[in-house]
Amino acid sequence: MSCPNATAPIDIVRSIADECDLKCDYSFKYPITSVTADNKGDFIRLSFDPEKEPSVRFNSAKYNCQEARIYQPSLHTFAGKHSIGEMVIVHQSDTTAQTLLVCVPIVEDPSSKGSTIDALMTQIAAGAPRAGSRTGISMDNFSLDRAVPNKPYYSYTGTLPYSPCNNKVDYVVFDSNFGMKLGASGMASLATPGHSIITSQSYAVHTNPDGYYINNRGPSPMTATGDDIYIECQPTGADGKVLVPEGGAASGSGKNLNIGEKIADILKSPWISALFGVFILLLVFKIFDLIASKLFGDAQSGGAVQSGDNALSTVLSAIGRPSPASS
């Protein structure tokens, strides 16, 4: 049953989704883990080993994976149609109460054999075929990295679709074109009437008043810790598009940067360098003149001044400027 005043799940139509980029940036690096499956009647709950460090970043927040759920048919619809199933990976922020749901559709592909979802459903059907039953999954080097595609995804904020019906849950939803492929044997245990090990979910599809966005880049790469690779979210407009190009500066600071660069270019000019050299020479001659005046008196200092003027005329002639005598 749907939550009261729910705004999720939703129907997704690619052609009407606004674009976003850094505003809905999702990165993941799920660890290798053991898996336990619980048959809850209308969904399968997958539990994993506790994470030693957050495996996901969504915008500037780090998240730990809590569990995954498998429903049939999918919670979300795509242009009005359900896929045969959906895996919902539940994450919790490591600093706040914020929840992130990463949703991957499960699609039918009779030719598919040996996929991750096929292996899961085969073992769950054998070990936990009824509500209330539990089984451990034997799968070498299992990681949710196998389940999440590196493809474009949608993002929006809505209510939690199931109890406790929290508001402000972030969603990452992959299109059914990029869903996990389930072969014939897995289909029988997940979605074939009379054979499915879980009942059909009954959550209604809703209209989200804030709309939804598409990130055409897909998930960003992430190291084991997620450090050093995350690009902080840039200022965006209401449609989710970045207002300042990546690598640019916000509101006025770019103008200051350009002025600074122009001043630096001017200072590198050969004419500026020559004039600076003349200034240094003139300063040296004036200092010499003052020293000579103190040591030898006015007559000798006059000769020093004349000598300094001659030297200055020679320098100015070398750079093509008129000497003081000729002006």
Domain ranges within the chain, ordered by starting residue: 11-215, 269-318
Residue 251, by phi and psi: left (phi above 0), alpha (psi -120 to 50) or beta? left
Band of pLDDT at residue 271, cut at 50, 70 and 90: low
Q: Could you read off the pLDDT of 154-206 as tens digits, one per residue?
A: 999 999 999 888 878 999 999 999 999 999 888 888 987 778 999 999 999 99
Band of pLDDT at residue 230, cut at 50, 70 and 90: very low
Supply the angle between the helices 270-296 and 298-318 in degrees, to the nearest 10: 170
1 has a pLDDT exceeding 80: no
Task: State the Cα–Cα distance between residues 102 and 67, nearest whole angstrom.
Answer: 11
Helical spans, DSSP H, in 163-252? 184-190
Q: Classify domain 11-215 at the CATH class level.
A: alpha beta
Inter-residue contact 181 to 112 (CB < 8 Å): yes
Inter-residue contact 218 to 211 (CB < 8 Å): no
pTM above 0.75, yes or no: no
Identify which has the larger pLDDT, 103 or 272: 103
